[in-house]
Chains A and B, each alone.
Chain A
Amino acid sequence: MKDDRDIDALLRQHSEQQLAGFDWDRQRQTLMHQLASGWAQGTGRRILRKVIAGVVLMLATGCVCIILVNVVDRDATGPIETTAAHEPVEGDPLVASTDPTTILLRGPARLLVCNDPMLAPHSLWDQ
């Protein structure tokens, strides 16, 4: 029986040593202060903080997406250069085309440029 209790005695000794200088009043006061004023407000503040953080995260994600799309789009498009689609013939309209480029959500395309005002704009897209 003595052997059963020697460990308990050692644990009690350890417990007493650790709690010897413990500030009981301070712990109680902190707790009661927390309950009296801080807890409910603290909870509200925590929730508000989470909502704000969520909104900020959404905005940041949106901004990053917009920037990425712009960068990708710009890289894909590049500077526009035109070359003559065919040798100019006197009396015929002049036609030139851009290099193939990527139009967002529509895929690759070439823009044909023409000096004939009678040609409809949609006919200038060569997809």
Chain B
Amino acid sequence: MAEKKKAGKSSKSARKAQSPAKKSPATKKRSARSALATATSASKPVDERIQAMTEAPLAVCAEDESLQKMLNVLRNREEPIEVRLAALQSLQAASFAVLAFESCRADYIATLRELVEDPDPELRQRVLGILARENDGFVQKKLLEGLKKPGKALVPPEKALQLLSYDVHSEAYPIAREIVKNPPSSEAKREALRLLSADPAAVPVFEKILRDKDELAELRQLSASALNSLRPEKLQEHAREIVLDKNEYDDIQAVSLTALTTLGDEAEVTGDAELLKRVDALKGEKSTKVKKSARRFLEKYGE
């Protein structure tokens, strides 16, 4: 009986240990402060510091001294990179509380700008990402410079394009068009096309890629999606032609059928005997994807 009681007690304490303890805000702050002290102490083991960093965000902006300690860890190249990355994550988590972080924001942004040329590529890329999401002019200028002069690039071109795409006003369209014409890599071309998917002047580029059977299926699908956003009527025209083309790839035909099913002008499509006949034929042939898309199309317009 006593053993049973003991076992019950131990399982209760185990549950208590497993479940997150309900702490009052004051207790949370106290433990965050103590975590921050551990996190910023160079004498503590790395693992312990990284673990403490995850508990520190509440205390990061509580006092100016705490913030400066954390920023020092972040910018100190002598610190282990794992600790620096954890410090960045902790600061980023703290910054999500916009009101509470108000007093720390200026120093935080200034420190991040110091780190855009840090030798560690992961830290550099993360910092660039944070600043790019803030539409930071400093970072946009650096990224554009890197795309124009690859020797100055802070990140690979596909990553730079991805970061520049966060801000539609970042003046990256001309360089993205250039990259589509002369891509340094297929990834860069893909990201350039993604960036251009909000540029109405790029409609002819997307039309050309969508109809080019030599292009990668991923890029053709991306072009279809961009046309859907920029000129839905153009997508409908091309989708019809693609469906009618007996030598077209299955993936692209399936995408085109889906586009016509969801976006097609009902009167126009139902009156298009040639198209309906072709889709009827597709229903019984080819790949599963095409068959499924054809069936959905005919459920809406035919039969």
Indicate, yes or no, whether A interacts with B: no
B residues apposed to A, CB below 8 Å: none
